Amino acid sequence: MKNILLIEDDPFLAEIYAAKFRDANFEIEVAADSILGISKTKEKKYDLILLDIVIPNMNGFEVLRSLKNDPEVKNIPVVILSNLGEEENVKKGLSLGAEAYYIKAHYTPTEVVAKVKEILDKSS
């Protein structure tokens, strides 16, 4: 069973995504802010991290930079899942090392699960 960490501060969205991933036989944990998200990556080995950009404490770009600069977790694929869809944000996320950048409004949670499966299949 693959382990996913979702860093998302909206409890309603977090629960929807968590339920969809559980239904697809993933183990998923949720962190409601950047500090908790980063600390969870130190405690457990995740197969993929789903990261929102607009989150408390540090924004998702800062979290991504921190994760990619940490030798222990830098190889974990990070997928940005955000409502920020401006081209400069997408480019910034990908240039900082995100595996993919999905705009929440463009994908249903079920489609996000399918995209994550594709990424994990490629990396395994």
Residue 83 lies in a domain: no
In terms of residue numbers, what domain contains 73?
36-44+60-77
Q: What is the number of structural domains in the chain?
A: 1
In a domain, 70, yes or no: yes
* Residue percentage of the chain with pLDDT more than 70: 99
Q: Is residue 95 part of a domain?
A: no
* Domain-embedded: residue 122: no
Exposed e or buried b for every residue in 86-116, given b needs 16+ CB within 10 A? eeebbebbeebebbbbbebeeeebeebbebb
Q: What is the pTM of this model?
A: 0.96
Say if 51 falls within a structural domain. no
Q: Flag whether 87 is in a domain.
A: no
Report pLDDT digits (tens) over 27-78: 999 999 999 999 999 999 999 999 999 999 999 999 999 999 999 999 999 9
Q: Is residue 118 part of a domain?
A: no
Statement: residue 23 has pLDDT above 90: yes
